[in-house]
Structure 1
Amino acid sequence: MGEDEQRNGHGRKEGMKNKYAVAFSIIGSIISILMGYDTGVMSGAMLFIKEDLKTNDTQVQVLAGILNLCALVGSLTAGRVSDWVGRRRTISLAALIFLAGSVLMGLAPNFATLLAGRCVAGVGVGYALMIAPVYAAEIASAEIRGSLTSLPEICISFGILIGYVANYLLAKLPLVYGWRTMLGLGAIPSVALAVGVLAMPESPRWLVMQGRAEEALAVLRHVCDSAGDADARLAEIKTAAGLTDEAATAGVPAPGNGGKGVWKELFLHPTPPVQRILVAAFGVHFFQHLTGIEAVVLYSPRIFKAAGIATRNEVLAATIGVGVTKTVFIMTAILLVDRVGRRPLYLSSLAGIIASLACLGFGLTVIERSAQHQRPTWAVALAIATVFTFIASFSVGVGPITWAYSSEVYPLRLRAQSASVGVAINRVMNAAVSMTFVTLYKAVTIGGAFFLFAGLAVLAAAFFYFLCPETQGRPLEEIEEVFSRGWRARRRSSVELPVSNVQDCNGKARP
């Protein structure tokens, strides 16, 4: 096909991915590096904190999980804050809160101060996890939305990898400075984001909700490939927001502006489509951490020790391998999610997770029941290998798609505060796993703990298969229609749905 045939009526290359939407989404997703770094660095720092501050297992579990409990405060308030002050300012606020927490942890003279700093950082994490995928979803075109809303997950993974590398490099510092430096370095991405956010525009959908349609159009003209496509997208957003052209021209805010009445519509009088959306979106958050990812990432040093990797340097080096695997496979997911679709990638991911957890549980059980010097080599190799296959399986599907899927299914008027509740559920489940894993594996053995996670992953697969429809390629304004078809429609593929004649930001007819 010639060059002229590849261009649409506006003189733009058809299917061209808009560089501005990608750039703005990347900047907005940098905040997710903060959470990833804190998770990764804490897995190694806990080894040194326990030695320096003489903490016991209960304190270690509290330290690991308190960030997620405090993230509830951030996530449950972030939705209303972002409806009030805007998506961009909410990202700035999250960065400042995390900066304060990182400084407090880096200067902590004792366990109480360290715990307080981790609580403050947790509030920032709650804001970050809610706002980054929502901002990406609202600024991206339907064609690349899956990739861009997965960016926060790759940033989390990149942050985890940086945390693991920091553990390895800083382990040689004197004990009193090593773990404090590890935790204090989390302030650096906060400063970088504070500068980068100045280049970001506000979400056009939020601007429309405020009655600022002209400003929204200006943003859309940056992220769409032609003025005509921007006008078409603005018309869709105004319709979804419940605004007439006359009201939008007059600068009248949309109904529900500022987040008023959202809780009532969500939990007291939800429509049937909204009920199904909430079940699907909250459900993927509920099951994400029940697959055991937090146990593997946060406690991977203990798992490697149980598998027979002896020295501290060897353990820290092995965790770097976990971080590299996680990052590589999430990048793979970003390349596939808008081509393959959410459902095939998510369900394939769960199949790999179930197999990996079962093999990991089996290998660790054999090791645990063997004498110290008679551990079967095959069992050690199996346990170590399946840690990596588990990380790869999770990262190529369940990890990024949880955030991409949950950020795109909510109606515009409910999106920010619904996302807040979803993140709160996610953090509760994260905290439940991270704060109980040591107790769990002492009660049922470490192998038994992973058998349990494998069983829960089977339930997650059944849930997603029956209750979560495909959203690939559909504009945000049309997704509520997908959920209006009843529970039996959950298994329909997107090709069975009615075809829209509306064009996306790249000038292509939407599927």
Structure 2
Amino acid sequence: MADRKGVSGQPDTAVSAFDPPQKPKRNKFAFACAILASMTSILLGYDIGVMSGAGLYIQKDLKISDVKLEVLMGILNVYSLIGSAAAGRTSDWIGRRYTIVLAAVIFFAGALLMGFATDYAFLMVGRFVAGIGVGYALMIAPVYTAELSPASTRGFLTSFPEVFINAGILLGYVSNYAFSKLPLHLGWRVMLGIGAVPSVFLAVGVLAMPESPRWLVLQGRLGDAKKVLDKTSDSKEEALLRLADIKEAAGIPPECNDDVVAVSKRSHGEGVWRDLILHPTPTVRHILIAGVGIHFFQQTSGIDAVVLYSPKIFEKAGITSESHKLLATVAVGFVKTMFILVATFLLDRIGRRPLLLTSVGGMILSLASLGMALTIIDHSDTKLIWAIALAIASVLAYVATFSIGMGPITWVYSSEIFPLRLRAQGTSIGVAVNRVMSGTISMTFLSFSKAITIGGVFFFFMGVAIAGWVFFYTLLPETQGKTLEEMQVLFGTFFKWRSTMRELEKNKRVDGNGESNGYTNSNSQIQLGPLTAK
């Protein structure tokens, strides 16, 4: 008893910092920064949502074929590759914060060009510029949020980009319905041009945000990094541990505590691509496969086809009225947004794996029922109300199950698993794969559905989702509650990661005396050994 009193007499502050899940003041600041950074994702969401309806009017006004329409719909994803490829290096040069400002400025120019487009070629130029802005935004928002967030709420905060993508999609759908009554030549131009408005507020709002503490450490600005970590951590102890972790990952000796220190050139990005692609360690190879794989399966399971072409899908299902198609599409956006909000609260409570596997399981079932309903409608001479209802319900179930796991976890997981020095470039590779597959699906959906029927396309997506479920189950370890640097310990054993996890848990139990400090002792002792061993 005497010992316990002696121990508890001094670390009372550490215990009290560990017991409550959050200190409101600190988390409010991290929360506000995450919201501002994630608002860049509204730009992509709005474009996806608005193009689903604007495409109907563009096709009528400019008299373009289905092939030209699907290229116009999906080409932004291909163009965004330029932005996401450049974003890794840009964010290492000018910082995460100013990269967000750059994304907003580029998208602003693209939205104006699309709004004033006079023909198909002019419209494609606008898509090109907006696409580069979207590529920047997609890469930088999850990286910045993951680097700023404390471990206790990182899943919640890092899922914000996906929340705002969904909010943008819903705004796009609402914009379609709101401006659909305007004259044909004016309606779609207003729908596209008004997308410039959010980027203005975003560029101004970002100036109130701090820079990423990890980027500051890489620049040798330890004093500035300490101030940001103090504001965004749950406790002073956590802030100190996070700083120690980042310094170690950046190759700065623990005894260097000056406000400004010299950082070796290697930490500025030289050799990153070699370490990531040409000569990766088993740990980095496993991380890269997991990070790229989750982005690949997110898109190839058909989400952008459903979101972009929902009016066309509802038309195939038997809804003929333009306004009814757009209203049904608004319902899709509403359900998608509601379920993504549910997911944000579950990420740090349930964990990434259970949510991801449940989500993909639900997607498989809803894709099967959607494929079946559309096939029955295709082969029926009469209007089958039950089949139409099943098709609509399946679309809603699909976007709901996607949004509760696969949607947000892709961005959370891929942004948190890469080591600090490889994070910007590693995340940009994941985003590039995401955009390539999204563009491929978007630009071939109409042609693909003509070739194998629309029902057949959704059976194909179901097969991809099944392969994705197997991939996630076998290769992706749980990352909930782990520090960003600790995750390196979990990767590298590929299919044997469960035994590594058991070892970590065993080490935590052995180090039971440190558990009163929660975040502080147990994590650092597990983490620092393997990191220095590498």
| 1:260-299 correspondence to structure 2 within 5 Å | 260-299=270-309
Displacement of 1:9 in angstroms is 3.8
Q: Distance in 2 between matches of 1:452 and 1:485?
A: 31
| 1:258-407 correspondence to structure 2 within 5 Å | 258-371=268-381, 374-407=382-415
Structure 2 CA distance for partners of 1:468 and 1:100, relative to 1, 3 Å: same
Residue 157 of structure 1 corresponds to: 166
In the TM superposition, what whole-angstrom CA distance separates every residue of 1:438-489 from its partner, at most 9, and x where no partner exists? 0100000000000000001000001111111000000001000111444311
Residue 424 of structure 1 corresponds to: 432
| 1:163-242 correspondence to structure 2 within 5 Å | 163-242=172-251
Displacement of 1:11 in angstroms is 6.6
In the TM superposition, what whole-angstrom CA distance separates every residue of 1:54-101 from its partner, at most 9, and x where no partner exists? 111111011011100001100111001101111001000000010000
Amino acid at match of 1:363: A
Residue 444 of structure 2 corresponds to: 436
Q: Distance in 2 between matches of 1:502 and 1:236?
A: 18
Displacement of 1:358 in angstroms is 0.5
Structure 2 CA distance for partners of 1:114 and 1:154, relative to 1, 3 Å: same
Displacement of 1:257 in angstroms is 3.1
Which of 409, 412, 418 aligns to 1:410? It is 418
- Residue 125, structure 1, aligned to residue 131, structure 2: no
| 1:3-82 correspondence to structure 2 within 5 Å | 8-9=13-14, 14-16=20-22, 18-82=27-91
Residue 6 of structure 2 corresponds to: none
Displacement of 1:228 in angstroms is 3.6
Q: Distance in 2 between matches of 1:425 and 1:503?
A: 42
Q: Distance in 2 between matches of 1:29 and 1:151?
A: 6
Checking the alignment, whether the CA contact within 8 Å between 2:109 and 2:129 is kept in structure 1 is yes
Displacement of 1:50 in angstroms is 0.6
In the TM superposition, what whole-angstrom CA distance separates every residue of 1:159-188 from its partner, at most 9, and x where no partner exists? 000000000010011111100000011111
Residue 5 of structure 2 corresponds to: none
Residue 473 of structure 1 corresponds to: 481
Displacement of 1:492 in angstroms is 6.8
Residue 456 of structure 2 corresponds to: 448
Displacement of 1:111 in angstroms is 0.8
Checking the alignment, whether the CA contact within 8 Å between 1:223 and 1:505 is kept in structure 2 is no
Range with greater deviation from structure 2 (211-220 or 375-384): 375-384
Amino acid at match of 2:403: S
In the TM superposition, what whole-angstrom CA distance separates every residue of 1:338-390 from its partner, at most 9, and x where no partner exists? 1111111000001100000010000000001111xx12221111111100000
| 1:478-497 correspondence to structure 2 within 5 Å | 478-490=486-498, 496=505
Range with greater deviation from structure 2 (247-256 or 195-204): 247-256
Q: Distance in 1 between matches of 2:161 and 2:522?
A: 28
Q: Distance in 1 between matches of 2:85 and 2:129?
A: 15
Structure 2 CA distance for partners of 1:43 and 1:242, relative to 1, 3 Å: same
Displacement of 1:251 in angstroms is 1.1
Amino acid at match of 1:409: I
Checking the alignment, whether the CA contact within 8 Å between 1:15 and 1:508 is kept in structure 2 is no
Checking the alignment, whether the CA contact within 8 Å between 1:224 and 1:505 is kept in structure 2 is no
Q: What secondary structure does 2:151 align onto?
A: coil
Checking the alignment, whether the CA contact within 8 Å between 2:138 and 2:431 is kept in structure 1 is yes
Residue 464 of structure 1 corresponds to: 472
Q: Distance in 2 between matches of 1:503 and 1:165?
A: 51
Displacement of 1:507 in angstroms is 7.3
Structure 2 residue runs without a partner (length 5+): 1-8, 527-534
Amino acid at match of 1:387: V
Displacement of 1:310 in angstroms is 1.1
TM-score of the pair, normalised by structure 1: 0.95
Which of 75, 84, 90 aligns to 2:99? It is 90
Q: What secondary structure does 2:22 align onto?
A: coil
Amino acid at match of 2:124: L
Q: What secondary structure does 2:480 align onto?
A: coil
Checking the alignment, whether the CA contact within 8 Å between 2:115 and 2:190 is kept in structure 1 is yes
Checking the alignment, whether the CA contact within 8 Å between 2:170 and 2:333 is kept in structure 1 is yes
Q: Distance in 2 between matches of 1:75 and 1:497?
A: 40
Checking the alignment, whether the CA contact within 8 Å between 1:466 and 1:490 is kept in structure 2 is no
Checking the alignment, whether the CA contact within 8 Å between 1:360 and 1:382 is kept in structure 2 is yes
Q: Distance in 2 between matches of 1:264 and 1:160?
A: 37
Checking the alignment, whether the CA contact within 8 Å between 1:230 and 1:505 is kept in structure 2 is no
Q: Distance in 2 between matches of 1:163 and 1:45?
A: 9
Q: Distance in 2 between matches of 1:457 and 1:406?
A: 18
Checking the alignment, whether the CA contact within 8 Å between 1:211 and 1:248 is kept in structure 2 is no
Q: What secondary structure does 1:380 align onto?
A: helix
Q: Distance in 2 between matches of 1:11 and 1:451?
A: 53
Amino acid at match of 1:424: A
TM-score of the pair, normalised by structure 2: 0.91
| 1:250-265 correspondence to structure 2 within 5 Å | 251-254=261-264, 256-265=266-275
Amino acid at match of 1:91: I
Range with greater deviation from structure 2 (177-186 or 489-498): 489-498
Checking the alignment, whether the CA contact within 8 Å between 1:142 and 1:504 is kept in structure 2 is no
Q: What secondary structure does 1:256 align onto?
A: helix
Residue identity over aligned pairs, in percent, reads 54
Checking the alignment, whether the CA contact within 8 Å between 1:16 and 1:506 is kept in structure 2 is no
Q: What secondary structure does 1:143 align onto?
A: helix
Q: Distance in 2 between matches of 1:229 and 1:348?
A: 32
Which of 143, 156, 169 aligns to 1:134? It is 143
Checking the alignment, whether the CA contact within 8 Å between 1:149 and 1:404 is kept in structure 2 is yes
Q: What secondary structure does 1:190 align onto?
A: helix
Amino acid at match of 2:303: I
Q: Distance in 1 between matches of 2:117 and 2:319?
A: 31
